[in-house]
Structure 1
Amino acid sequence: MRQRIRKTPDQLRSARWFAPDDLRSFGHRSRMMQLGFSEDDFRGRPIIGVLNTWSELNTCHAHFRDRVVDVKRGVQLSGGLAVEMPSLSVDESFTKPTSMLYRNMLAMETEEMIRSHPLDGVVLMGGCDKTTPGLVMGAISAGVPMIYLPAGPMLRGNYAGKVLGSGSDAWKYWDERRAGNVSDAEWLGVQGGIARSAGTCMTMGTAATMMSIAEALGLTLPGASSIPAVDSGHQRMSADCGRRIVDMVWEDLTPDEIVTPAAVRNAAIVAMATGCSTNAVVHLIAIARRADVDLTLDDLDALGRVTPLIANVRPSGKDYLMEDFYYAGGLRALMKELEDRLDGSALTVTGRPMAENLVGAEVYNPDVIRSLSNPVYSEGSLAVLRGNLCPDGAVIKPAACDPAFHVHEGPALVFDSYPEMKAAVDDETLDVTPDHVMVLRNAGPQGGPGFPEWGMLPIPKALIKKGHRDMLRISDARMSGTSYGACVLHVAPESYVGGPLALLRTGDIVRLDLPARRLDMLVDEAEIERRRAAWTPPEPRFERGWGWMFSRHVTQADQGCDFTFLQADFGRAAGEPDIY
């Protein structure tokens, strides 16, 4: 940890825009006065950019139009000047083909907005799945003091006296509707009751996972990740973020001091213990590499083998949702249970080590946040597979699938596109058994395009009507963090670029051995080589624009799907802009 010396006003980054007595700075000061500010408002005080991912089509962030007022109040009460800057929203529900196609766009926008404007520090307002990693990745690369403000989960759903979890119960009720067990009135009731307020999915999906990871990295105020979006505590936390970022600027507390190997390891352990989304793998690797921290799939698997799942929150847990998790003590309480496994010396945005932030944390409901001696699942929530189908790795969520499929062997049923797969599973005459292994390919980072959440393949209607609700499914796609089932995901390299999944044929026998961490097609190596020699690359997905750029620079799933030229080891940015 470097020795930090408190800044003086002339050392503020923004002073380079406003302090000199020259023509360019005259123009900058003049334009600030055009906005209604006096010189006392912006000279000699920290200017804080509030990067707000609010959008009228982002339901997770519907409250951010109000919360930015709380953030700005906190900044101003601490002597700073807050300026709101709208950022790409990357909403999960409406963005097609997938919001993952635009995570790196948000990261680039965040980095460049910070670098090119007179900002001394930033508050990052995010929460919906890709906004957390996108904002954090960009801010790490920009290097100015930053604090993350998580959107928080929505209230738990309700219909006909039953508690509903977003995503997870949608999949469950949809299967029952396909089986003919849910009426139109019931379906409409679930539709209206499953999402009752602003905020992210209230299961331990990708949004809750990534907000928890941000806190475990030390990038949020203690306890911030679990507060429900519409709780008044969320307003107070938002104002506290504004207050704290001003102090961070004077202290010159930058993200390189916080996102260290110790912090990344802490975040991975906490993620495993929460029953995290499989998407955590891709995003945490990308975040770590922005900070020049080496994190691999094997590192995550090793931590997963020894970290019990102790958050009894759907979908890996059985009974509770994020609102219950908050009332039970939230992430601070869970981290307190894990304290002996964490590096308490890791620095956080509070300016104090993580261990100090956990003092006084307590579990109020031991069924929601279990002890290490009474876990929901004895290992962490994720496992990494290797084999001739996934030489660079694949991911599965063991706690969220039927244990009967932990070791399974069966014939492959292969689909080359989502429409082909969807038509087949809705065909009640499909020749399929519970032993079949459904495979969807051409759905990875380049093939999707953009790595869509198609990996929780629907159970064929022919099996649904016979009472089956799980089967082994394999894909180079992702799946929603609210999903569940025996789904192997993120197969790397993806089939679109010639990975082994491209060589699999319907009828080939596939074997999953979860305890041994193996996934293989039982096909002779000579036959595999013959198929490889005959394989021809598909046509490019894009010929112009963002998609063209994405497809040429995105890395594979095991490397975080960041752009090659944005990772820390590619090279350093030019530094601060010249003020011409």
Structure 2
Amino acid sequence: MERSKKILCGLQNQYYRATWKSMGFSTDDLKRPMIGIANAWSECVPGHFNLRQVAQRVKDGIYRAGATPVEFGVIGGCDGMGQGHDGMHYILPSRELIANSIESMAQINLFDGIVLLGSCDKIVPGMLMAAARLDIPCILLPGGPMDGGIVFDGRQSDQTSSTEAYGMLTAKKISEKEYTSLENLSCPTCGSCSYLGTANTMCSLSEALGMTLPDGGIIPAASAARLAIAEKTGIKIVELIEKNITARKIITNESIRNAIKTCLSMSGSTNAVMHLTAIAHEAELNINVLEEFDKLSRTTPQIAKINPASKYNMIDFYKAGGVSRLLDEMENIIDTDQMTVTCHTVKENVDNHIYQYPKNSELIKTMESPFGYQGGVAVLRGNIAPNTGITKPGAFDKNLHHFVGEAICFNSEEEAEEAILNGEVRSGHVVVIRYEGPKGGPGMREMYKAMKYLYGRGLSKSTALITDGRFSGTNNGCFVGHISPEAAEGGPIAIIEDGDKIEIDVENKMLNLMVSDNEISLRLSKWKRPEPKFKRGYLGLYCKIASSGAEGAIMNYDKLV
């Protein structure tokens, strides 16, 4: 029986029907399946700005297929707006709020299924976490990527170009006129960022996971096709309900592996590691996502290069065939029998896919002739990162895959950024930014600005950066993030000193502090746990019960017991 029938059928349930009818729903509406539309539309997030129009077309599809749509709002923060200030503390923790609020609305109203509308970094994984937790029919539909802007520094610009340009301006490499021109010309439309950041990585991986219709993650925000696929999504959610295809029939160990391989094949955002870990946790799967990334990165070729790894942006990727083309190329190494929200398997989707544009062999290569024979995301370990460190070798020069440098240490993002802009960081430095992990940050802030400033000042190929925080998917250069244990938990990153030698060895998956074990032990014995930065409100709770980056930075409520 449909969930909604429990409160909408029978004389005893007149109260619920009267409540719906107070908002204009008819008797006929209430006899149909009730489908929630979790819409993260706002005027705060460019990736969500078009979701009002998208939602209407989803409603059209639901009505057309014989069900009743019920729209409700979900919060969603833009990572870009939170960068470099206290707002970034809230970005990762907001993922849990999003999952919790969708779960709450679905259960309060006993929806039969949900269409999830969201495009951006923590909203997409938060919505997929809710789908996995609820295990009812669900489809995720993003709003699509924005167009690229005016050409700057050899590629179409985006909002991150402004941060790179500011580094160039402080280094007197460009004029103020060149710098200010980007303000009006780098973001010509709404949509998720035009590059392969965390937002578009997770939208792409939702396709690979089977939770988004083919092309649904990457059709441009400003295109007619975006509205057409919205209506198709509305039709499909009704079919999922009729066939009782719930989220956990799609989100399985094997579909998670398909998503991991897709991420590796396109050198997606390092944040995908923690988000897929959290989604698998909510689906109660027994897969170790971190170990799978480590193992599969050694055997999965990189066959796509998208900005920041190349000049091509997400719309170019869509025109080159997108995720469907990747799945087609990887057919022999993925599980093509996995069910998807089309009500067909991955193989059936790939076999029946119609490509609207010609191939682009500079953007998507074949398995026989890839960009590299190992994946674009790698897991490192060593005496700095006993549990894990995550890097993205597919997005930076191979000459940096082995880097030995001298540590220059900072206990916050802001300290590091000030030093970089003041010229204190020089070639050969390994910038260490710590106390920015899930607990210490709290919220595991991104070191996006620090990396962009290094790029802008001409240091991206002669320095490295390591942190217990995270990185934006747009970052390139030699970096290692997600270092665990984090500094606030007494991880070895806490005791690195200025001048220490650090070795980053991507090929051998190593990250090491080049001092003796005895010296490390001595320093750790003198370390003292710092006071939490937030003691009240949501972040006061989050920093108490957040798990490590290696565990997906989920909220571990057992710690409250």
Q: TM-score range by the shorter chain?
A: over 0.9
Farther-moved stretch of structure 1 (555-564 vs 164-173): 164-173
The 3-state SS of whatever aligns with 1:105 is: helix
- Equivalent residue, structure 2, for 1:435: 428
- Equivalent residue, structure 1, for 2:496: 504
The 3-state SS of whatever aligns with 1:94 is: helix
Listed one character per residue, the Cα deviations across residues 249-296 of structure 1 (whole Å, up to 9, x for unaligned) are 121110111111110110100111112011111111111121122223
Contact 2:162 2:179 in 1 (8 A): no
Aligned pair partner of 2:525 in 522, 533, 544: 533
Contact 2:269 2:472 in 1 (8 A): yes
Letter of the 2:343 counterpart? G
How do 1:48-59 residues align onto structure 2 when only pairs under 5 Å count?
48-59=35-46
- Equivalent residue, structure 2, for 1:258: 250
Contact 1:54 1:86 in 2 (8 A): yes
Contact 2:303 2:371 in 1 (8 A): yes
Aligned pair partner of 1:70 in 48, 57, 74: 57
Q: Does 1:314 align with 2:304?
A: no
Using a 3 Å threshold, how does the CA distance of structure 1 residues 273 and 468 change in structure 2: closer, same or farther? Answer: closer
Using a 3 Å threshold, how does the CA distance of structure 1 residues 456 and 558 change in structure 2: closer, same or farther? Answer: farther
- Equivalent residue, structure 1, for 2:398: 403
Listed one character per residue, the Cα deviations across residues 523-552 of structure 1 (whole Å, up to 9, x for unaligned) are 222221221121111112222221122112
Letter of the 2:413 counterpart? Y
- Equivalent residue, structure 2, for 1:19: 9
Using a 3 Å threshold, how does the CA distance of structure 1 residues 427 and 224 change in structure 2: closer, same or farther? Answer: same
Aligned pair partner of 1:296 in 272, 279, 289: 289
How do 1:256-405 residues align onto structure 2 when only pairs under 5 Å count?
256-293=248-285, 294-316=287-309, 318-361=310-353, 364-405=359-400
Using a 3 Å threshold, how does the CA distance of structure 1 residues 434 and 459 change in structure 2: closer, same or farther? Answer: farther
Farther-moved stretch of structure 1 (360-369 vs 282-291): 360-369
Listed one character per residue, the Cα deviations across residues 493-522 of structure 1 (whole Å, up to 9, x for unaligned) are 110111110111111111122211111111
Give the drift of 1:456: 6.1
Distance 2:435 2:17 in 1: 53
Aligned pair partner of 2:226 in 230, 234, 243: 234
Q: Does 1:135 align with 2:145?
A: no
- Equivalent residue, structure 2, for 1:106: 98
Q: Does 1:97 align with 2:88?
A: yes
- Equivalent residue, structure 2, for 1:81: 68
Q: Does 1:34 align with 2:22?
A: yes
Farther-moved stretch of structure 1 (445-454 vs 94-103): 94-103
Q: Percent identity?
A: 33
Using a 3 Å threshold, how does the CA distance of structure 1 residues 468 and 123 change in structure 2: closer, same or farther? Answer: closer
Q: Which structure 1 segments of 5+ residues have no match?
A: 1-10, 571-580
What is the root-mean-square deviation of aligned Cα atoms in Å? 2.1
Contact 2:417 2:449 in 1 (8 A): no
Listed one character per residue, the Cα deviations across residues 62-105 of structure 1 (whole Å, up to 9, x for unaligned) are 10111111010000001110011101122222241241121111
Farther-moved stretch of structure 1 (318-327 vs 477-486): 318-327
Give the structure-1-normalised TM-score.
0.91
- Equivalent residue, structure 2, for 1:149: 141
Distance 1:60 1:466 in 2: 30
Give the structure-2-normalised TM-score.
0.94
Using a 3 Å threshold, how does the CA distance of structure 1 residues 545 and 20 change in structure 2: closer, same or farther? Answer: farther
Contact 2:138 2:247 in 1 (8 A): yes
Using a 3 Å threshold, how does the CA distance of structure 1 residues 460 and 185 change in structure 2: closer, same or farther? Answer: closer
- Equivalent residue, structure 1, for 2:197: 205
Letter of the 1:388 counterpart? N
Distance 1:468 1:256 in 2: 42
Distance 1:245 1:372 in 2: 34
Contact 2:152 2:161 in 1 (8 A): no
- Equivalent residue, structure 2, for 1:247: 239
Give the drift of 1:166: 2.5
Distance 1:422 1:532 in 2: 27
Give the drift of 1:165: 4.0
Listed one character per residue, the Cα deviations across residues 193-233 of structure 1 (whole Å, up to 9, x for unaligned) are 21111110111111110001101110011221120011100
Farther-moved stretch of structure 1 (402-411 vs 328-337): 402-411
Contact 2:265 2:301 in 1 (8 A): yes
The 3-state SS of whatever aligns with 1:148 is: strand
Using a 3 Å threshold, how does the CA distance of structure 1 residues 66 and 424 change in structure 2: closer, same or farther? Answer: same
Letter of the 2:429 counterpart? H
Letter of the 2:295 counterpart? A
Farther-moved stretch of structure 1 (545-554 vs 486-495): 545-554
Letter of the 1:202 counterpart? S
Give the drift of 1:475: 0.7
Listed one character per residue, the Cα deviations across residues 426-470 of structure 1 (whole Å, up to 9, x for unaligned) are 223x3x542221101011111122011116634878x97677654
Distance 1:262 1:170 in 2: 40
**How many residues in Structure 1 have an aligned counterpart in Structure 2?**
551
Using a 3 Å threshold, how does the CA distance of structure 1 residues 421 and 312 change in structure 2: closer, same or farther? Answer: closer
Distance 1:281 1:176 in 2: 32
- Equivalent residue, structure 2, for 1:575: none
Give the drift of 1:565: 3.8
Listed one character per residue, the Cα deviations across residues 152-184 of structure 1 (whole Å, up to 9, x for unaligned) are 111121247964243553444333222212222
Contact 1:474 1:488 in 2 (8 A): yes
Aligned pair partner of 1:448 in 434, 438, 441: 441
Using a 3 Å threshold, how does the CA distance of structure 1 residues 65 and 465 change in structure 2: closer, same or farther? Answer: closer
Q: Which structure 2 segments of 5+ residues have no match?
A: none
Letter of the 1:290 counterpart? E
Using a 3 Å threshold, how does the CA distance of structure 1 residues 225 and 449 change in structure 2: closer, same or farther? Answer: same
Give the drift of 1:189: 1.5
Contact 2:88 2:446 in 1 (8 A): no
Listed one character per residue, the Cα deviations across residues 304-357 of structure 1 (whole Å, up to 9, x for unaligned) are 1211211121112x2311111111122111211111111110011111111000
Listed one character per residue, the Cα deviations across residues 17-38 of structure 1 (whole Å, up to 9, x for unaligned) are 111321xx22111111111122
Farther-moved stretch of structure 1 (365-374 vs 131-140): 365-374
Distance 2:228 2:25 in 1: 26
